Amino acid sequence: MDLKKLEGILEGMLFASGDKISIEKLSSIIGIDKKTIKLVLNNMIVNYNNNLPGVLALGK
> Do 10 and 48 contact (CB within 8 A), yes or no?
no
Specify the pLDDT at position 49: 77
Convert 30-44 to b/e letters by CB count within 10 Å (16 or more is b): eebeeeebeebbeee
Specify the pLDDT at position 58: 45
Specify the pLDDT at position 57: 47
Task: Please tell me the total count of domains within the chain.
Answer: 1
Specify the pLDDT at position 18: 84
Considering the entire predicted model, what is its pTM? 0.76
Taking residue 25's Cβ as centre, other Cβ atoms within 10 Å add up to: 13
Q: What is the domain range of residue 46?
A: 3-59
Q: Give me Rg for the CA atoms of the chain.
A: 13
